[in-house]
Structure 1
Amino acid sequence: MKKKVVVTIVIVILIILSIIHYYFSSTSITLLDQPIQGLSKTIEFFSQSIYDEIPIKYTCYGEDISPPLKWRNYPINSVSFVIIVFDIDAPKKNFIHWLIYDIPSFINQIPENVPKEAKLYFAKQGFNDFGKIGYNGPCPSIGKHRYIFRIYALDTYTGLPEGARVEEVINKINNHVIAYGEFVATYGR
């Protein structure tokens, strides 16, 4: 009898923990989504080199260079932009491939093959999840992954030095994002 009670209690606890895990994993806001809560996607953000699928040229299996990016329809009071490229299907959710920030508002495009340097003439770059500065493209071992290219328009600069980490940038831009845009592309082997 005592053993049955213990087994029942353990089962009930496991069910409760499963429900809690499901609730928090399905409704929790990711770090990268925090700054855009309550905002509509209004910036038109795109690459004339990427449509639905990322060309091999922009992956680790090709030249591993950054793609050209353009944006328009951003607020006139934008001061700077942050661009983050991340893989939402990687084992480490939201694996960062590119972090570029403090792009002044008079710039509305980035050329192909941005140097992998922390300080650029037009912006700063931070560390990606490969542990490197600048862009490193998709490199999935198997299967098709989705990559989000997201731009945040800010009412200020981050004030961070070159070589920041994504957590630092997100902490600085929270409450300063006035608009955003994004597009999704895939790559798989």
Structure 2
Amino acid sequence: MHLTSPAFEEGGRIPWSASAPNENRLPALEIHDVPGGARSLALILEDLDSPLGEVTHWLVWNLPPDRSRVDALNLREESRVGMDSFGKVGYLGPVPPEGVHRYRFRLLALDAELDLESGATRSQFDQAAEGRVLDEAELTGSIERPRTEGDG
């Protein structure tokens, strides 16, 4: 299974338009080669360089396994969106407080739809998905908060 984006390459720069301070728009994500036994997909966006540890910015599950693109604004009815590390439900794009941060999109192919309602926490999701992951793909990119006038 593979996860790619026409907006940035693996290890490349995520466009600033995807950031929360700008347009807060999920970059286009494309899904390839989902295993045949997959019954649903899940997608997680994590900040790998947060001083708080790994921070979840977005969590969605029960995506149809035949999905080839992901759009945070047009999820199908059966999809569920979890709570991020900031206590909010929905997409929160990268928001590095300063410097360069690496963000990882993790795609999981699951052998079932999860019996978990929208608003569930990352811990609840991890528990529900345990033992159900058939395959995993990652796409990592970095983003830097632009310097503004007056920055030292």
User: What range is the shorter-chain TM-score in?
Assistant: 0.7 to 0.9
The 5 A counterparts of 1:39-58 are 43-51=1-9, 52-58=12-18
1:45 deviates by 0.3
Which structure has the highest strand share of the two? 2
After superposition, the C-alpha distances for 1:33-89 in whole angstroms (9 at most, x for unaligned) are xxxxxxxxxx11011122311111110221112222111112111000110010110
The aligned residue for residue 53 of structure 2 is 93
* 1:142 has 2:98 as partner: yes
Maintained 8 Å contact 2:40/2:112 = yes
Work out the CA distance in 2 between the residues paired with 1:130 and 1:124. 18
Equivalent in 61, 66, 69 of residue 106 of structure 1: 66
The aligned residue for residue 163 of structure 1 is 119
Amino acid at match of 1:60: A
Structure number with larger C-alpha Rg: 1
1:130 deviates by 2.2
Maintained 8 Å contact 2:63/2:76 = no
Maintained 8 Å contact 2:44/2:58 = yes
The aligned residue for residue 126 of structure 1 is 82
Work out the CA distance in 1 between the residues paired with 2:89 and 2:133. 23
Query: Residues 49 and 122 (structure 1 numbering): CA distance in 2 closer, same or farther, change over 3 Å?
Result: farther
After superposition, the C-alpha distances for 1:138-159 in whole angstroms (9 at most, x for unaligned) are 1112111110100000001111
The aligned residue for residue 12 of structure 1 is none
The aligned residue for residue 132 of structure 2 is 176
Amino acid at match of 2:63: I
What RMSD over aligned residues (CA atoms) do the two structures have, in Å?
A: 1.5
Q: How many residues align?
A: 143
Maintained 8 Å contact 1:149/1:183 = yes
Structure 1, unmatched stretches of 5+, are 1-42
Amino acid at match of 2:27: P
Maintained 8 Å contact 2:31/2:67 = no
Question: What TM-score does the superposition give when structure 2 sets the normalisation length?
Answer: 0.88
Work out the CA distance in 2 between the residues paired with 1:86 and 1:47. 16
The aligned residue for residue 109 of structure 2 is 153
Identity of aligned residues (%): 28
Amino acid at match of 1:103: L
1:106 deviates by 2.2
The aligned residue for residue 80 of structure 1 is 40
Work out the CA distance in 2 between the residues paired with 1:157 and 1:82. 9
Work out the CA distance in 1 between the residues paired with 2:59 and 2:36. 23
3-state SS of 2:104 partner: strand
3-state SS of 1:184 partner: strand
Question: What TM-score does the superposition give when structure 1 sets the normalisation length?
Answer: 0.71
Structure 2, unmatched stretches of 5+, are 146-152
